[in-house]
Amino acid sequence: MKTRATSGGLATLGGLALAIGLAVMPLTPALADDHAAEEEEVEIVNQMSFPADAMWQHSFDAYEGSAGEVNAALRRALAFSKAMEGEGVAPERVKVAIVVHGPSVFDVSNDARYGEKYYGLENPNKDVIAQLVERGAEIWVCGVAAKYHKVGNLHLLDGVKMAPSGTVAHAELQRRGFGINAY
């Protein structure tokens, strides 16, 4: 096949790539369905012990956020807290912290500020944040990111606090013995 460069670029190759992509695309869901059909029920039995007198201090980093969606890091932090409780660990022995920076600063802001950014939407993170705060979680906002995105202290949801920066917040949490979630 000959391809000729034109003002539109390599149209023949681009068209071929698009045709191949469209031809392959329908196979992906079929493969996923075949895999699901082959799955069998598996039993999972916890073999890890959690001493009754131990403390767990775990922090999460929230950077990415999407309009109208619950922030994944906030959701993971709440899931961790509930999972530990589900394993019989007393809630007062589990300390969770979240450091919020980058565009996710809007995810911890009130509806008015969230709506200014995201076309009138209400903040879908309010319930998760309220549950985290009720469980004693610390939610720290990077002051540098907040200033850049024009999210001030008065815009923050109840229980959310401002830190000088995300780096400083993580350093302070680590100084106090918090581990950081790897994902």
Residue 34 predicted with pLDDT over 90: no
Higher pLDDT, 33 or 66: 66
CA angle 90, 91, 93 (to 5 degrees): 70
| Neighbouring residues of 90: CB distance < 8 A, sequence distance ≥ 6 | 52
C-beta of residue 77 within 8 angstroms of C-beta of residue 64: no
Sheet-wide strand order for 94-100: 160-163, 138-142, 94-100, 56-62, 179-180
Residue 164's pLDDT is 98
Q: Structure tokens of 115?
A: 């709506």
Residue 16's pLDDT is 40
Alpha carbon 117 to its chain centroid, in Å, reads 18
Terminus-to-terminus CA distance in the chain, angstroms?
47
Least confidently predicted of 49-53, 109-113, 130-134, 148-152: 49-53
The string of pLDDT tens digits covering residues 117-172 is 999 999 999 999 999 999 999 999 999 999 999 999 999 999 999 999 999 999 99
Residue 40 predicted with pLDDT over 80: yes
Distance CA 3, CA 11 (A): 8
What average pLDDT does this structure show over 81-102? 96
Distance CA 165, CA 181 (A): 18
Residue 14 predicted with pLDDT over 90: no
Higher pLDDT, 6 or 117: 117
Q: What percent of the chain has pLDDT over 70?
A: 79
Higher pLDDT, 94 or 17: 94
For the chain, the average pLDDT equals 86
The model's confidence at residue 88, banded by pLDDT at 50, 70 and 90, is very high
Residue 107 predicted with pLDDT over 50: yes
Residue 13 predicted with pLDDT over 60: no
60 closest CA partner among 140, 114, 131: 140
Residue 20 predicted with pLDDT over 80: no
What average pLDDT does this structure show over 77-85? 97
Q: Structure tokens of 176?
A: 């106090």
